[in-house]
Amino acid sequence: MEVREHEPMSRHTTFGAGGAADWFAIPESEEELVTVLTKCRNAGVPWYIIGNGSNLLVSDNGFHGVIVSTERLCALTVTPGADAKTVYLTCGAGALLPRVAVRALKEGLTGLEFAAGIPGSVGGAAAMNAGAYGGEIKDVLCSLTVLSPEGNVCELETKDLAMGYRTSAVMEQGLLVLKAVFALEKGDPAAIQSRMEELLEKRKEKQPLEYPSAGSTFKRPAGYFAGRLIEDAGLKGLSIGGAQVSEKHAGFVINRGGASASDIFCLCEEVKRRVLERFSVELELEVRLLGRF
């Protein structure tokens, strides 16, 4: 398996920031993934799994251990269901949602239109229960094959995955997603394509896609929208180093060029502080942090 030494994580995160991983392993199969994780566990070496790094901020000090990437576990398989309507799409953990959504479209399957513009992997999206425009992974997920912290591979149905707003048993129980099965329905390809295009257009119009970011930086606090609170606190454009609260969408912290992970982190902390001071609402990061901050 390919294992790189001192791999800069700025190459593997959509923020384009962060220090190096001591080791960066890229398994080619589920078996290799299980082997590398088992070896790390047995040897007491710290490890972390990533998909597309689109919801991740790695410290400038890097990560002292092994980062395992699922990027090569990206096979897609289509299987007809027992009834005439349902079709199953099985995806390797590293398959990227835009590619999965395009495959669904090609097969004339509806259900994943909301995911076409989410730049994450299936494993990361299942862990986070990613969602957009009224759709969430849990609505279309049938089951996950996971590796448990004890080293057992098992298949879990969606009802057993405690999927909620940007959370799941995958995250809470330290499970590792090896593959996912989506249950989709046959639909009208023209309608599926038009819905995908409409949602992609909305993203282009509203989101600062021209800059590196991790999407919405903060979770939606109950009863509010994070972006609205940040905008109403007058924080659009606030910068620390190369990190900035986007002028286009206040819910996004962007890398305007050369931002360090520390710039991004400190800006997030400042935004939290000012929103709390102004509105007594505590923002919580949606972005996952790795390493020392």
Ligand X SMILES: Cc1cc2nc3c(=O)[nH]c(=O)nc-3n(C[C@H](O)[C@H](O)[C@H](O)COP(=O)(O)OP(=O)(O)OC[C@H]3O[C@@H](n4cnc5c(N)ncnc54)[C@H](O)[C@@H]3O)c2cc1C
Question: What is the spatial distance between Cα 21 and Cα 118, in angstroms, rounded to a whole number?
Answer: 25
Binding of residue 54 to ligand X (CB under 6 A): yes
- For strands 141-147 and 253-255, give the pairing: unpaired
For 260, phi then psi, to 5°, come to: -90, 165
Binding of residue 36 to ligand X (CB under 6 A): no
Binding of residue 21 to ligand X (CB under 6 A): no
HEC states along 218-278? ECCCCCCCHHHHHHHCCCCCCEECCEEECCCCCCCEEECCCCCHHHHHHHHHHHHHHHHHH
Nearer to ligand X, 103 or 288 (CB): 288
Give buried/exposed letters for 31-66 (b at 16+ CB in 10 A, else e). ebbbebbeebeeeeeebbbbbbbbbbbbbbebbebb
Name the minimum Å distance from CB 212 to ligand X. Answer: 8
Residue from 70, 143, 168, 217 touching ligand X (CB under 6 A): that is 70
Active-site position among 30, 59, 166, 213: 166
Catalytic site includes residue 262: no
Name the minimum Å distance from CB 277 to ligand X. Answer: 27
Binding of residue 199 to ligand X (CB under 6 A): no
Binding of residue 288 to ligand X (CB under 6 A): yes
Q: What's the chain's length in residues? A: 293
Catalytic site includes residue 166: yes
Binding of residue 255 to ligand X (CB under 6 A): no
Nearer to ligand X, 200 or 276 (CB): 200
Residue from 55, 90, 244, 246 touching ligand X (CB under 6 A): that is 55
Residue whose C-alpha is closest to residue 138's, from 163, 110, 157: 163
Binding of residue 14 to ligand X (CB under 6 A): yes
Radius of gyration of the chain (CA): 19
Binding of residue 246 to ligand X (CB under 6 A): no
Nearer to ligand X, 4 or 274 (CB): 4
Active-site position among 216, 246, 260, 262: 216
Contact in structure between 236 and 275 (CB atoms under 8 Å): no
Nearer to ligand X, 225 or 279 (CB): 225
Name the minimum Å distance from CB 23 to ligand X. Answer: 16
Nearer to ligand X, 100 or 128 (CB): 128
Task: Tell me the one-letter amino acid at 283.
Answer: L
* Long-range contacts from 163-169, C-beta under 8 angstroms, 24+ separation: 163/129, 163/136, 163/137, 163/138, 164/129, 165/129, 165/219, 165/220, 166/128, 166/129, 166/130, 166/131, 166/219, 166/286, 167/128, 167/129, 168/126, 168/127, 168/128, 168/129, 168/138
Site map (CB under 6 A) of ligand X, residues 92-131, x = contact: -x------------------------xxxx-xxx-xx-xx
Catalytic site includes residue 216: yes
Binding of residue 244 to ligand X (CB under 6 A): no
Binding of residue 168 to ligand X (CB under 6 A): no
Residue ranges that bind ligand X, judged by CB under 6 A: 14, 48-56, 70, 93, 118-121, 123-125, 127-128, 130-132, 170, 176-177, 209, 213-215, 288
- Catalytically active residues are 166, 216, 286
